[in-house]
Amino acid sequence: MSVNLTLLLVMGVLYAIGIYLLLERSLTRVLLALMLLANATNLLLLATGGYAGLAPIFGKDIPATAYNDPLPQAFILTSIVISFAVTAFMLSLIYRSWLLSRADHIQDDREDRRVARQELFDAEEDSEIAIEVSDFHENNQPAGSREMIPEVTLKKAAVHHAVKEGGE
């Protein structure tokens, strides 16, 4: 099977540069990266269609093998137009992000970082609570005068103990 080296090499370069730009923080560059990647993928599809051939406009006397494969072409056509729609959408995202936060770069997710730094001490699970001696809670004495179940901590977590739950 013949391999069109030009197509593949160009595709490889587009992929490489696309990935390089994709890993950038600037949203604009990420969008450009997506466009390059789309082009690269279209080339890959085209390459898998095989040899160059006639435009697939049906003629009674032309053998089917003379055409360039029409199936990848249909896929690519779909891909081109969808990429256009996605690009337009990304553009409005970038504009909106700029309008709201004056930023066009990808920020780290603060929530994720907050999760990673959260305290080990969970009042629901680990705080000190009073032992109850009646199902009828109005009868249970106030927390201070009862025996307590001590809180659970690890030495490492001792620093986090600023939070203390009072009573229930």
Partner 1 sequence: MALLAPIFFSRWGRAAFYVLAAVPAASFAWLLTQYGAVYSATGINPVLDVPWIPALGVNLTFRMDALAWLMSLLVLGVGALVLAYCARYFKTDDAGLGGFGAQLLAFAGVMFGLVTADNLILLFVFWELTTVLSYLLIGHARTRIAARRAALQALVVTTFGGLAMLVGLIMVGEGAGTYSISGVLARAPQLVAATGTPGTVLDIGVALVLVGAVTKSALLPFHFWLPGAMAAPTPVSAYLHAAAMVKAGIYLVARLAPGFSGTAHWQLLVTVLGLATMLVGGWRALRQHDLKLILAYGTVSQLGFLMVVVGLGSREAALAGMAMVLAHGLFKAALFLVVGIIDHQSGTRDIRELSGVFRSAPALGVVALIGAASMAGLPPLAGFVAKESVFAAFEAHARYGSAGHVAGFTVLALMVIGSILTFAYSARFLWGGFARKRPAPGGAAAPVADTPFKSVDWLFLGAPALLSLLTVAYGAYPQLAERWIAPYSAPFPANDPHPQHLLLWHGVTLPLVLSAVVVGGGLALFLLRRRFESLQARMPALVDLERLYRQAIVVLDLVAIWVTGRTQRGSLFFYLAVILGTAIAAVSAVLATTGPDWLGRHYTVDGGTPFQVIAGVVIVVGALAAARASKRFMAVLMVSVTGYGVALIFALQGAPDLALTQMLVETIVLVAFVLAMRSLPPGLRERTRGSHKLLRVILGAAFGAVMVVVGVVAMGSRIATPVSLGLPALAYTGGGGLNVVNVTLVDIRAWDTFGEISVLAIAATGVASLIFVRGRGQRLARAETVETGSIGRVGVPDGSPSPVAELARRFAVVPGNPWLVAGRTLAPERRSIIIEVVTRLVFHSIMVLSIYLLLAGHNGTGGGFAGGLVAGLALTIRYLAGGRFELAEATRVSAGTLLGLGLAAAALTALAPLFLGGEVFQSAILSFDLPVFGHVKFVTSTLFDIGVYLVVVGLVIDVLRSLGSEIDQHEEDGIGDITLIEDDEPLEVGR
Binding mask 53-72 for partner 1 (x = CB under 8 A): xxxxxxx--x-xx-xxxxx-
Give the CA distances from residue 131 to residues 8, 126, 128, 142, 146, in Å, rounded to whole numbers and listed in that order: 73, 14, 10, 11, 7
> Which parts of 79-98 interact with partner 1 (CB under 8 A)?
80-89, 91-96, 98
Interacting residues with partner 1 between 95 and 114 (CB under 8 A):
95-96, 98-99, 101-113
C-alpha 17/C-alpha 10 separation (Å) is 11
Query: Binding of partner 1 at residue 164 (CB under 8 A)?
Result: no
Shortest distance, position 96 Cβ to partner 1, whole Å: 5
Our finding on whether 148 is near partner 1 (CB under 8 A) is no
Regarding 143 and contact with partner 1 (CB under 8 A), the answer is no
Are the C-beta atoms of 50 and 66 separated by less than 8 Å? no
* Site membership for partner 1, residue 159 (CB under 8 A): no
CB of residue 123 to partner 1, shortest distance in Å: 8
Of 2-31, which residues contact partner 1 (CB under 8 A)? 2-26, 28-29
